[in-house]
């Protein structure tokens, strides 16, 4: 029996008799302070996926980072606010003691075959095997992803040289590679370093306050993606009054749009 993948160990939850789940922050996904937000989002989604009443696959997730998650145990409390014939609306809270640190909503649905035609197309970029792995230093969670930056890398000099655009594109996958599923896709939707750093070449304190993921991949498309690379991109939209937002997209190597994502991020100064 081989040890579980580090990602599976990190998102592992224990179902409790009262319908809640308990888990633990993972040192493997540590951020500067507390855990990487993407792993927290994956844990929140996983609680819904593990819930015995869950209907269908995730279509939309919004996670609000309300307070700092401390290293250690936590409880996730998912609740089906409404169940329709083939869709379900969940509200979720993550707590440590009686403190609410995350609020979230998840929409799941039994998908049906319909007309399809993704409009947001994968840009023309080098294949992953032609793009070298980008060495990355710093916080621990970065080592859990293999990243091949194509455009908009984190500034090499923090010299305050401002730029007009913050588009970042890279190939990324779990490290070591792991077959894609919804929790992994959720973590990958949060791997973008803050757009404000790229715009300003200044290392200002930041923190994501809310992230949304829309899942376009069904189970077959996840399976077809396997442990291949995803091309992901994000670009900032508005920056002011202490908050900026970005919009992003994630495709697999075949060019299938798997998810879109948005987040709003606090910054200081």
Around 240, how many Cα atoms within 13 Å sit in the side-chain half-sphere? Answer: 2
Q: What is the DSSP string of 233-267?
A: EEEEEEEETTEEEEEEEEEETT--EEEEEEEEEEE
Cβ proximity of 76 and 66 under 8 Å: no
Cβ proximity of 79 and 90 under 8 Å: yes
Per rule CB under 8 A, count of chain residues that contact its own copies: 66
Q: Cis bond leading into 176, ω under 30°?
A: yes
Burial class of residue 244 (count of CB atoms within 10 Å of its CB; 0-12, 13-18, 19+): buried
Sole residue written with tokens 């998908």? 111
Q: How far is the CB of 57 from its own copies (least distance, A)?
A: 9
Q: Does 119 bind its own copies (CB under 8 A)?
A: yes
Q: How far is the CB of 114 from its own copies (least distance, A)?
A: 5
Contacts of 26 (CB under 8 A, 6+ apart): 6, 9, 10, 35, 39
Cβ proximity of 210 and 167 under 8 Å: no
Q: Does 77 bind its own copies (CB under 8 A)?
A: no
Binding-site member from 18, 98, 130, 269 for its own copies (CB under 8 A): 269
Segment 161-190, which members bind its own copies (CB under 8 A)?
A: 162, 164-166
| Site string (187-226) toward its own copies, x via CB under 8 A | --------xx--xx--------xx-x-x-x-x--------
Which segment (63-71, 133-141, 151-159, 175-183) binds its own copies by CB under 8 A?
Answer: 63-71
Binding-site member from 6, 55, 59, 154 for its own copies (CB under 8 A): 59
Query: Phi and psi for 182 in degrees, rounded to 5?
Result: -65, -45
Q: In 3-state terms, what secondary structure has residue 215?
A: strand
Q: How far is the CB of 111 from its own copies (least distance, A)?
A: 4
Measure Cα distances from 144 to 128, 137, 151, 176 in Å.
Answer: 17, 12, 21, 7
Binding-site member from 15, 226, 237, 255 for its own copies (CB under 8 A): 237
**What sign does the dihedral 218-219-223-226 (CA atoms) show?**
positive
Q: Does 70 bind its own copies (CB under 8 A)?
A: no
Segment 14-33, which members bind its own copies (CB under 8 A)?
A: none
| Site string (88-107) toward its own copies, x via CB under 8 A | -x-x-x-----xxx-xxx-x
Which segment (18-26, 111-119, 139-147, 180-188) binds its own copies by CB under 8 A?
Answer: 111-119
CB closer to its own copies out of 31 and 62: 62
Q: How far is the CB of 140 from its own copies (least distance, A)?
A: 26
Beta bridge partner(s), residue 244: 239, 265
For its own copies, the binding residues (CB under 8 A) are: 59-60, 62, 64, 66-67, 81-82, 84, 87, 89, 91, 93, 99-101, 103-105, 107, 109, 111-120, 162, 164-166, 195-196, 199-200, 209-210, 212, 214, 216, 218, 235-243, 245, 247, 249, 257, 259-260, 262, 264, 266-269
């Amino acid at each position: 029996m081989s040890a579980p993948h580090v990602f599976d160990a990190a998102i592992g939850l224990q179902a409790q008799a009262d319908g809640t789940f308990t888990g633990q922050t993972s040192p493997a996904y540590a951020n500067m302070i507390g855990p990487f937000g993407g792993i927290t989002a994956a844990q929140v989604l996983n609680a819904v996926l593990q819930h015995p009443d869950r209907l269908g696959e995730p279509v939309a997730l919004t996670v609000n980072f309300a307070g700092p998650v401390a290293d250690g145990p936590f409880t996730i409390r998912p609740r089906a606010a409404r169940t329709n014939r083939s869709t379900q609306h969940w509200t979720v809270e993550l707590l440590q003691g009686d403190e609410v640190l995350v609020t979230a909503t998840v929409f799941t649905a039994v998908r049906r075959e319909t007309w399809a035609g993704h409009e947001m197309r994968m840009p023309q970029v080098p294949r992953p095997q032609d793009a070298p792995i980008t060495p990355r230093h710093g916080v621990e969670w970065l080592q859990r992803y293999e990243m091949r930056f194509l455009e908009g890398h984190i500034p090499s000099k923090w010299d305050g040289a401002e730029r007009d655009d913050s588009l970042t594109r890279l190939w990324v996958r779990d490290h070591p590679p792991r077959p894609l599923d919804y929790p992994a896709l959720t973590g990958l939707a949060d791997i973008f370093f803050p757009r404000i750093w790229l715009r300003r070449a200044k290392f200002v304190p930041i923190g994501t306050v809310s992230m949304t993921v829309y899942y376009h991949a069904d189970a077959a498309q996840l399976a077809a993606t396997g442990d291949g690379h995803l091309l992901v991109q994000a670009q900032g939209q508005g920056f002011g009054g202490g908050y900026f937002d970005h919009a992003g997209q994630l495709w697999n190597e075949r060019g299938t749009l798997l998810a879109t994502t948005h987040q709003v991020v606090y910054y200081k100064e």
